[in-house]
Amino acid sequence: MRDVVIHVCVTCRREGEDSALPRPGERLFEGVASLAPTGNAVLPVACLGNCRRSCSVAMAAPLGWTYVFGDLTAESAGDVVLAARLLADAPDGLMPWRGRPEAFKRGLVARIPPPPPAKDAAE
Ligand code: FES
């Protein structure tokens, strides 16, 4: 099992919503932070560049893929934690399709491969 880092955009708000605070992204962050198991870091971020499909989160695991999801809501915290668990348990670092919450099947924005291993400085 890998530790997963979950970045939640706290500046996200849905188009057409009023500007009342806290924003939906901030409420989503608070929900994820309260539900995430120990070992997962939950970090606030100001804008993931996915504003048209907010609310947005990104998640990454060491030596695994990084995922960006959108079209979430302030009430999506449970689904975020479930998706993070799938990534944490994935032996190949790829979040499996099976078992993903529906919002995480429809809301995939991008998946980014892990960086290549660092070259040995002695080469
Ligand atoms: S404000 Fe959340 S992705 Fe831009």
CA dist., res. 25 & res. 3, Å (int): 23
Q: What was the pLDDT predicted at 62?
A: 86
Ligand 1 pocket, residue 13 CB under 6 Å: no
- Name the residue of 54, 73, 109 whose CB sits within 8 Å of the most ligand 1 atoms, as the mutation to test its pocket: 54
Residue 101 Cα, ligand 1 centroid: separation in angstroms? 21
How do the pLDDT tens digits run along the chain, 123 residues long?
788 999 999 999 876 666 777 899 999 999 999 999 887 899 999 999 999 999 999 999 888 899 999 999 999 999 999 999 999 999 999 999 999 999 999 999 999 999 887 787 555
Look at ligand 1, atom 2, and give the residue with the nearest C-alpha.
Answer: 12
Ligand 1 pocket, residue 12 CB under 6 Å: yes
Q: What was the pLDDT predicted at 122?
A: 57
| pTM listed for this prediction | 0.90
